[in-house]
């Protein structure tokens, strides 16, 4: 390797980088300041100074000649030395300069040099431009690409839709007395977004006792996240609403609305039903005619600020509510009240599971009373265990009250007359079954009128054998068995009536006296109304018509009518039924002084679900009849399910209720006695 040639600096040998060893101990690390070099690269140092530096620098390359390297050129003559500043030695305190010479230096560290300011400025501008481009891109995204989305969100935060409830139509009796009406009320609501978490307990402590609500439920509602409107309570009284407003709680306010009340408490509750807390019909006519009664709610949309204040120039659109139409019933409030009182007392007295009373006008089919017991108060329906109406929803075996249909069939198709004599033992055997009467008796010779008056099961079986099973079925269907009355009450059962093709060999016999077939109470009452109306069946009617919000009444369509039996047959059965209320009949307790009364008792066994048999199932006691018998104007039917105290016979427990309700209804309707004398009924055959 050859020696590196020195620069063209006047023969000066090239410099060697100083090492820490050259600097010596304690040498100062401050770099030596050197005079600037003239342009052109020539060394303008004085000769003496350069020579002094060269002499002071050890020649570390002397040995290179022996290795074949070229020797350095001799240095030119030294120039006069120029005074210059040198670093002080840190160890000995001596001056680094001696006689114009230069002290030896260690290796020089590169001086700290700042970058070019223009480059730094450009780099900063690039960073700022990049950040601004991100903001600009996001701005474009918000104002163009996603503008509709964020606009909709903003509107949703400001826009509130308030419900404007419609006024629910009233339900009245036939004379316009309110059975269910709508009154002014208040709804309490909250805006959870305006209730701070620290304020929630204070809101709960103030509202829960005032609204009779569970504190946990109130807290859950006002803590709903993402909601600006929740109902806390509805249908509260105006006084309660004003008390809530006076509390001035954050995010809590009231709205005007309406509340359903029942001014007669439990009167006709099973018919009327109730309106639940959501404002919808929960049972009875309130449920069946909910759409008509409720009307159509309106709404109002308003924009509000963060504090909940309505923005005056914001959106404000409204749809007015449409009031509901009212119902006018055929019920008479006073007759309904009497029927309900009578059946409630008898249910308590007999320990019966339930009871019902139906009052009808046989000429028009209008129902004047539908009373059930036990009942409930629709103003406090939550306390009730049962909201059903057993009159139409419970099917039962009618027992002996069904014998009038068999009587009609055999009178018209079997060649039997009221005076036809039957030899009636206590029991008879048909196929593999034995049938008997309710009371033991020796074999009797009874007229057909006597069979009906004494309610003989065996005598009815003997009479029914004069017609076919198909004929018996056809008459049952004609009187309305096997199909609902469609009176308008929800949940009506059609009962059970199977066709003869599905009857067993012995079914026709219990069916003839009212077992192995089931009906609802209104179906059975309609049977007696048909007989009382001369054989013409008028469909039961409960709805007299509708009442518009302005008060205009629209009558309901006339009920359907059809003839079931002839006028002559109906009159024969009426005279036969008068025999049941005589001393020799089964229902002398149904007699009303001054009036001729016709009717029929019923005592049917109830199927025991535990065994599917009649043993231990209890009894259904009933009585159905009409008055005045020679000009029927009213029909009353009484049914008691499973009486457990005292007698369980219809003549003992149901007939007295019939008498009380019928007597009251006749007076209320101002129906006078006809003054006619009852016919002589031959119950036993004359020898």
Q: Report the mean per-residue pLDDT for the chain.
A: 85
Give phi and psi for 106, each to the nearest 5.
-80, -175
Predicted pLDDT of residue 193: 87
Handedness of CA 607, 611, 615, 618 (dihedral sign): negative
How confident is the model over 51-83, as pLDDT tens digits? Answer: 444 444 444 444 443 444 444 444 544 454 454
User: Are the CB atoms for 379 and 413 separated by under 8 Å?
Assistant: no
> Which residue stretches of 310-379 are H helix?
333-350
Residue range 567-577: mean pLDDT, rounded = 96
Contacts of residues 64-68 at CB distance under 8 Å and 24 or more positions apart, as own/partner, are 64/3, 68/2
- pLDDT range class, residue 17, cuts 50, 70, 90: low
Which of the two residues, 506 and 160, has the higher pLDDT score?
506
Predicted pLDDT of residue 459: 97
Residue 549 burial class via C-beta count within 10 angstroms: exposed 0-12, middle 13-18, buried 19 and up: middle
How confident is the model over 236-261, as pLDDT tens digits? Answer: 999 999 999 999 999 999 988 889 99
293 vs 108: CA distance, rounded Å: 104
Residue 42 has pLDDT above 50, yes or no: no
The residues that bridge with 604 in the sheet, in sequence order, are 620
Predicted pLDDT of residue 91: 43
Predicted pLDDT of residue 302: 72
- pLDDT range class, residue 618, cuts 50, 70, 90: very high
- pLDDT range class, residue 9, cuts 50, 70, 90: very low
Give phi and psi for 401, each to the nearest 5.
-65, -20
- Hunting for tokens 């007696």 — which residue is that? 528
Q: Which two tokens stand for residue 404?
A: 């009038």
- Hunting for tokens 């404007």 — which residue is that? 164
16 vs 105: CA distance, rounded Å: 11
DSSP 555-599: EPPPPPEEE-S-HHHHHHHHHHHHGGGSTTSS-GGG--TTS--EE
CB proximity list for 560: less than 8 A, separation 6 or greater? 538, 539
How confident is the model over 107-153, as pLDDT tens digits? Answer: 666 555 566 788 888 888 889 998 988 888 888 877 777 777 766 66
Residue 31 has pLDDT above 70, yes or no: no
Residue 485 has pLDDT above 60, yes or no: yes
How confident is the model over 195-211, as pLDDT tens digits? Answer: 999 999 999 999 999 99
Q: Which two tokens stand for residue 225?
A: 């996240």
Residue 374 has pLDDT above 80, yes or no: yes
* Residues tagged active-site: 400
Residue 2 has pLDDT above 70, yes or no: no
Residue 85 has pLDDT above 60, yes or no: no
Residue 456 burial class via C-beta count within 10 angstroms: exposed 0-12, middle 13-18, buried 19 and up: buried
Predicted pLDDT of residue 20: 47
For 107, the 3-state DSSP assignment is coil
Q: What are the DSSP E strand ranges found in 285-343?
A: 298-303, 316-319, 326-329
Residue 429 has pLDDT above 50, yes or no: yes
Residue range 589-609: mean pLDDT, rounded = 95
Residue 158 has pLDDT above 70, yes or no: no
DSSP 433-455: EEEE-SS----EEEEHHHHHHTT
Predicted pLDDT of residue 308: 54
Predicted pLDDT of residue 371: 98
The mean-pLDDT minimum among 86-95, 215-224, 582-591 falls in 86-95
290 vs 281: CA distance, rounded Å: 6
- Hunting for tokens 């210059």 — which residue is that? 84
Give rounded-to-5 percent helix, strand, coil for the chain.
35, 20, 45
Angle, to 10 degrees, between the axis of helix 238-247 and the axis of helix 200-211? 160
CB proximity list for 678: less than 8 A, separation 6 or greater? 578, 596, 629
Which of 451, 671, 470, 391 minimizes the C-alpha distance to 579? 451
Residue range 445-451: mean pLDDT, rounded = 95
Residue 335 has pLDDT above 80, yes or no: yes
DSSP 548-559: -TTS-EEEPPPP
Which of 374, 381, 400, 347 minimizes the C-alpha distance to 527? 400
- pTM for this one? 0.75
Please measure the distance between the N-terminal and C-terminal CA atoms of the chain and give it in whole angstroms: 169
Which of 502, 162, 552, 106 minimizes the C-alpha distance to 319? 162
Across 30-39, 160-169, 627-636, which has the greatest mean pLDDT?
627-636
- pLDDT range class, residue 165, cuts 50, 70, 90: confident
Give phi and psi for 118, each to the nearest 5.
-65, -40
């Amino acid at each position: 390797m050859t020696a590196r040639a020195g620069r063209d600096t006047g023969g000066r040998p090239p410099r060697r980088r100083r090492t820490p060893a050259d600097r010596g101990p304690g040498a100062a690390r401050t770099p030596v300041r050197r005079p600037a070099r003239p342009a052109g690269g020539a060394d303008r140092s004085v000769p003496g100074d350069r020579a002094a530096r060269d002499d002071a620098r050890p020649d570390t390359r002397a040995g290179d000649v022996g290795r074949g390297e070229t020797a350095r050129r001799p240095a030119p003559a030294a120039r006069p030395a120029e005074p210059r500043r040198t670093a002080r030695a840190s160890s000995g305190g001596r001056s680094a300069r001696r006689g114009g010479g230069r002290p030896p230096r260690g290796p020089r560290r590169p001086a700290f040099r700042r970058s070019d300011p223009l480059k730094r400025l450009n780099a900063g501008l690039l960073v700022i431009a990049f950040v601004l481009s991100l903001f600009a891109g996001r701005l474009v995204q918000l104002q163009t690409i996603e503008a509709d989305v964020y606009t909709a969100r903003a509107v949703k935060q400001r826009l509130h839709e308030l419900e404007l409830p419609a006024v629910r139509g009233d339900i009245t009796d036939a004379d316009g007395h309110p059975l269910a009406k709508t009154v002014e009320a208040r709804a309490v609501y909250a805006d959870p977004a305006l209730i701070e978490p620290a304020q929630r307990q204070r809101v709960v402590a103030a509202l829960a006792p005032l609204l009779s609500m569970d504190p946990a439920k109130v807290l859950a509602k006002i803590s709903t996240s993402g909601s600006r409107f929740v109902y806390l309570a509805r249908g509260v009284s105006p006084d309660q609403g004003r008390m809530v407003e006076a509390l001035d709680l954050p995010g809590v306010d009231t709205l005007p609305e309406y509340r359903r009340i029942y001014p007669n408490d439990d009167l006709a509750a099973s018919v009327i039903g109730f309106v639940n807390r959501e404002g919808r019909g929960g049972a009875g006519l309130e449920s069946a005619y909910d759409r008509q009664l409720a009307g159509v709610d309106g709404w109002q949309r308003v924009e509000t600020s963060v504090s909940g204040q309505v923005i005056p120039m914001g959106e404000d659109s409204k749809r007015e509510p449409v009031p509901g139409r009212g119902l006018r019933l055929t019920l008479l409030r006073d007759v309904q009240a009497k029927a309900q009182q009578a059946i409630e007392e008898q249910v308590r007295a007999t320990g019966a599971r339930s009871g019902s009373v139906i009052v009808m006008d046989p000429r028009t089919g209008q129902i004047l009373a539908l009373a059930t017991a036990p009942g409930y108060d629709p103003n406090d329906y939550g306390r009730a265990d049962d909201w059903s109406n057993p009159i139409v929803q419970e099917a039962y075996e009618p027992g002996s009250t069904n014998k009038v249909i068999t009587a009609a069939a055999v009178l018209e198709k079997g060649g039997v007359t009221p005076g036809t004599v039957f030899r009636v033992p206590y029991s008879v055997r048909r196929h593999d079954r034995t049938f008997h009467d309710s009371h033991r008796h020796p074999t009797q010779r009874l007229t057909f009128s006597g069979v009906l008056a004494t309610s003989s099961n065996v005598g009815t079986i003997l009479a029914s054998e004069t017609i076919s099973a198909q004929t018996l079925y056809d008459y049952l269907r004609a009187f309305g068995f096997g199909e609902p009355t469609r009176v308008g009450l929800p949940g009506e059962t059609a009962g059970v009536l199977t066709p003869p093709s599905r009857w067993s060999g012995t079914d026709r016999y219990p069916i003839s006296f009212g077992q192995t077939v089931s009906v609802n109470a209104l179906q059975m009452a309609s049977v007696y109304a048909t007989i009382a109306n001369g054989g013409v069946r008028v469909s039961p009617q409960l709805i007299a018509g509708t009442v518009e919000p302005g008060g205009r009444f629209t009558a309901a369509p006339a009920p359907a009518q059809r003839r079931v039996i002839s006028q002559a047959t109906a009159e024969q059965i009426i005279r036969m039924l008068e025999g049941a209320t005589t001393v020799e009949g089964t229902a002398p307790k149904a007699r009303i002084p001054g009036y001729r009364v016709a009717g029929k008792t019923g005592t049917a066994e109830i199927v025991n679900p535990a065994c599917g048999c009649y043993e231990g199932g209890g009894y259904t006691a009933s009585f159905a009849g009409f008055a005045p018998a020679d000009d029927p104007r009213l029909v009353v039917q009484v049914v008691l399910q499973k009486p457990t105290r005292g007698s369980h016979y219809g003549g003992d427990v149901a007939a007295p209720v019939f008498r009380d309700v019928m007597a009251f209804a006749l007076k209320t309707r101002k129906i006078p006695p006809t003054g006619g004398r009852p016919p002589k009924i031959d119950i036993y055959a004359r020898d």
